[in-house]
Structure 1
Amino acid sequence: MKGSSRHRLDQRAFMEQMRECRDKGYLLSLKQIGSGTFSKVYLACATHERIQHNLKLSSDLQGKRHTIVAIKIVSMAKAPMEFSRKFLPREISSLNATYKHLRCPKTAETYQNNQRSYLVLELVARGDLLEHINTVSDLRCCLGLEEEEARRLFWQLVSAMVHCHSAGIVHRDLKCENILLDDRGLLKLTGPHFCSWPDPGHQPSQEAYLLPPKHSTSPHYPSGPKQPPEPLSLHPAPPSPSSCTSLPRLRLCQLYWIEETLLSTLECQDLIRGLLQPHPHARLDLQQVAAHRWMLPATHV
Structure 2
Amino acid sequence: EQVHECRDNGYLLSSRKIGSGTFSKVYLAYATHERLQHSPKLASDLRGKHHAMVAIKIISTAEAPVEFSQKFLPCEIASLNATYKHLNVVQLYETYQNNQRSYLVLELAARGDLLEHINAVSEHPGRPGLEEEARRLFWQLVSAVAHCHSSGIVHRDLKCENILLDDQGLLKLTDFGFANRSGLRNSLLSTFCGSVAYTAPEILMSKKHNGEQADLWSLGIILYAMVTGKRPFKERRPHHMLHLTRRGPTSGQALGGYSCEPLPTECQDLIRGLLELRPRARLDVQQVAAHCWMLPAAHAL
- Relative to the length of structure 2, the TM-score reads 0.80
2:177 aligned counterpart, secondary structure: helix
1:292 aligns with 2:291: yes
Tell me: CA distance 1:65–1:242, structure 2 relative to 1, closer, same or farther (3 Å).
closer
- Change in Cα spacing, 1:230 to 1:191, as seen in structure 2 (3 Å) is closer
Structure 1 stretch displaced more, 127-136 or 246-255 = 246-255
CA contact (8 A) 1:173 1:217 kept: yes
Match of 2:214 in 1: none
Report the more deviating stretch, 258-267 or 29-38. Answer: 258-267
Deviation per CA, 1:238-297: give whole Å up to 9, x if none.
xxx999972323434664441732521111011101101111121111111112111112
Q: CA deviation at 1:113?
A: 0.9
Are the structure 2 counterparts of residues 243 and 57 from structure 1 closer, same or farther at C-alpha, using a change threshold of 3 Å? closer
1:249 correspondence with 2:243: yes
1:227 to 189, 200, 224: 200
Query: Counterpart of 2:255 in structure 1: which amino acid?
Result: I
Q: Residue 122 of structure 2 aligns to a residue in which SS? A: helix
4+ residue runs of structure 1 moved beyond 6 angstroms?
A: 241-245
1:69 maps to amino acid: V
Structure 1 residue aligned with 2:114:
129
From 23, 32, 35, the equivalent of 2:20 is 35
Pair 1:72 & 2:57 matched: yes
Q: Determine the C-alpha separation between the residues in 2 that align with 1:286 and 1:32.
A: 35
Q: Which position in structure 2 is the counterpart of 1:10?
A: none
Structure 1 residue 130 displacement after superposition: 0.9
Q: Does 1:174 find its partner at 2:158?
A: yes
Q: Identify if the C-alpha distance between structure 1 residues 215 and 203 changes in structure 2 by more than 3 Å, giving closer, same or farther.
A: closer
Q: Secondary structure at the match of 1:297?
A: helix
The correspondence for 1:199, drawn from 172, 178, 183, is: 183
Change (3 A) 1:263 1:79: farther
> Are 1:160 and 2:144 matched, yes or no?
yes
* Matching residue within 155, 164, 167 for 1:183: 167
Is the Cα contact below 8 Å between 2:92 and 2:107 reproduced in 1?
A: yes
Q: Map Cα deviations across residues 172-207 of structure 1 (whole Å, 9 max, x no partner).
A: 111111111111111111111211112323289xxx
| Aligned equivalent of 1:266 | 265
The 1:64–1:280 alpha-carbon spacing in structure 2 relative to 1, beyond 3 Å, is: closer
With over 3 angstroms needed to count, the CA separation of the structure-2 counterparts of 1:248 and 1:43, relative to structure 1, is same
Structure 1 residues 191 and 53: alpha-carbon distance in aligned structure 2, compared to 1, 3 A threshold: same
- C-alpha displacement at 1:215, in angstroms? 1.1
Residue 118, structure 1, aligned to residue 103, structure 2:
yes
Q: How many angstroms apart in 2 are the aligned matches of 1:58 and 1:166? A: 27
Paired residue secondary structure (1:27): strand
Q: State the structure with more CA Rg.
A: 1
Structure 2: state its 5+ residue gaps: 206-232
Deviation of 1:230 (Å): 7.1
Instruction: Report if aligned partners of 2:89, 2:144 keep a CA contact under 8 Å in 1.
Output: yes
Q: Secondary structure at the match of 1:33?
A: strand
- For residues 22 and 248 of structure 2, the distance between their equivalents in structure 1, rounded to whole angstroms, comes to 28
Q: How far did residue 19 of structure 1 move?
A: 1.0
Pair 1:216 & 2:197 matched: no
Identity of matched residues, %: 62
How well do the aligned residues superpose, as a CA RMSD in angstroms? 2.7
